[in-house]
Amino acid sequence: MSLASRIGVSFEDGINRRSVDYLRRKGWRPRTIGLSGYGSVDKLHVMCRVIMADPEATPESDPWVSVPADGTSSAPRPARYPTLGDQATEFIQKTATEARRGWRQFFTAQVGFLPVTVRVGDKVVHTTTDRGGYVDVMIPDHNLAPGWHRVSIEARAAEPVHTDALVVAPSTKVGVVSDIDDTIMVTMLPRALLAAWNSFVRHTNTRKPVPGMADLLNEVLDSHPDAPIFYLSTGAWNVVPTLKRFMLRHNLPVGPMLMTDWGPTPTGLFRSGREHKRVQLRNLMITFPDIRWLLVGDDGQHDPMIYDDIAREHPESVWAIAIRQLTRREQVLAHGSVDPVQTPSLGRSAQTEHGVPTVSGPDGHALMQVLPQILQSDGRPDTPSD
């Protein structure tokens, strides 16, 4: 670990330790936030985070998926949307009336090195949170059928919680990975000043969807109902509750989110967003070797190069690449130039070298005009790769 990293980690840990002690004296207690897990019929990836919370505050309802109380899936495939019953209606209304400022979701005191018990079916796993308060554990031989399931998480001194986890069927051949910022949601990140305004000042219920992206994703899943969808972002885990509300309001299909944790690491003061995306994509391809992926992103940052690099490494695992083109104004706000940051060269790309279909358009409506045609032709999952 570099000197700068050691200083950064020590500084962050010191502030957090004092914050936890202060909040504990005020009567606050650990609270577990479940994060959507995923896996195959062989092993399940379970994630959560433990933070300090006011025991008098009512936890927000989270109707992310519709799973019966007995913890079994109501269908052999993922639920597209949660059932919009009383819980979901209350969830949306609370968001509209609360209009809370975005900065609140970033100021949390995480509880590190806390004992945690995870229960999946008849499997029980004992672990601890890491220094950031996270649990990220792989559970083999869980004996769960394909579909959405409930996972029980018990952290010391915290109320037990249930989170959802998606088990993907072995027969599934198609999957979707979608970026979030400027792909499904207009944020124009990460230019520093604008990022701070969008993330810390603007109300979290003022986010705008990219036109047509919900329709695009739903059309793909209509053709392949068993296809899982993952949302891959360099955004912080702290914003997951806000993103869930956003997706619920704007009719976006549900799926596990693959976020990151801001702050110092053993290799630097800041995490690499590009490396985070590459690692997560490779993990998905290892976990689901028989699935071919539709990769959806935008050209405001590095998605075109990241997706193309992955497709050149694993052409048999990429079904197609769809890139949303930002306007000139959005490009300037995103990184200070009117041109995309980086795009694959015409002579050296996954499309040229391996025939991986790559399309682009200004929004979901434009992509819908060309993408379904591609997915019904050379990009079909039963077509042998070059």
**pLDDT for the residue numbered 72:** 41
Strands 161-167 and 29-39: parallel
* Residue 211: band (very low, low, confident or very high) from pLDDT cuts 50, 70, 90: very high
All residues at 6 or more sequence positions from 362 whose CB lies less than 8 Å from its CB, including other chains = 324, 325, 327
* pTM across the whole model: 0.83
| CA quadruple 310, 313, 319, 321: dihedral, nearest 10 | 40
Using the 8-state DSSP alphabet, how is residue 197 labeled?
I
Q: What is the DSSP pairing of strand 185-186 with strand 174-178? A: unpaired
pLDDT at 327: 77
CA distance 4 to 339: 33
The mean-pLDDT minimum among 80-94, 119-133, 293-307, 348-362 falls in: 80-94
Interacting residues of 146 by C-beta distance below 8 A, sequence separation 6+ = 41, 73, 76, 77, 167, 168, 169, 170, 172, 226
232 with 281: CB under 8 angstroms? yes
Mean pLDDT for 166-172 is 94
> What angle do the packed helices 273-287 and 303-313 form, to 10 degrees?
40
In this model, does residue 272 exceed pLDDT 80? no
- Domain segments of the chain as ranges: 3-167, 174-375
What tens digit of pLDDT does each residue of 125-140 get? 999 999 889 999 999 9
Q: How confident is the model over 261-270, as a mean pLDDT?
A: 50
Mean pLDDT value across residues 161-184: 93
Q: Is the pLDDT of residue 13 over 70?
A: yes
Question: pLDDT category, 1, cuts 50, 70, 90?
Answer: low
DSSP state of 341: S
**Average per-residue pLDDT in the chain?**
79
Which residue has better confidence, 284 or 251?
A: 284
| Phi, psi dihedrals of residue 65, rounded to the nearest 5° | -135, 160
What is the predicted pLDDT for the residue at 385? 43
Which residues is 151 bridged to in the sheet? 163
Closest CA to 160 of 203, 112, 124: 124
Residue 212: band (very low, low, confident or very high) from pLDDT cuts 50, 70, 90:
very high
| Region 78-82 average pLDDT | 48
Domain 174-375 CATH class label: alpha beta
- Residue range 17-70, pLDDT digits in tens: 899 999 999 999 999 988 899 999 999 999 999 999 888 765 554 444 333 334
What percentage of the chain reaches a pLDDT higher than 70?
70
How far is the C-alpha of 128 from the C-alpha of 232, rounded, in Å?
Answer: 25
Q: What is the pLDDT of residues 329-361, one digit of tens each?
A: 776 666 656 667 667 877 789 999 999 999 999
> What mean pLDDT comes out for the span 178-182?
92
pLDDT at residue number 334: 61
Report how far Cα 248 is from the mean position of its chain's Cα atoms.
14
Report, as an integer, the average pLDDT of 188-212. Answer: 60
pLDDT for the residue numbered 329 = 74
Residues in a beta bridge with 69: none
Strand, coil or helix: what is 1?
coil
More confident call, 73 vs 107? 107
Most confident stretch, 115-129, 229-243, 360-374: 115-129
Query: Half-sphere exposure (CA, 13 Å, Cβ side) for 111?
Result: 24
pLDDT of residue 120: 94
pLDDT at 96 over 60: no
Note whether 82 and 66 are within 8 A (CB).
yes
Cα–Cα distance measured from residue 76 to residue 145, given in angstroms and rounded to the nearest whole number:
8
Mean pLDDT value across residues 280-303? 94
Residue 367 φ/ψ, nearest 5 degrees? -65, -30
pLDDT of 191 over the 90 cut: no
Which range, 25-34, 266-275, 307-316, 328-337, is most confident?
307-316
Distance CA 250, CA 209 (A): 7
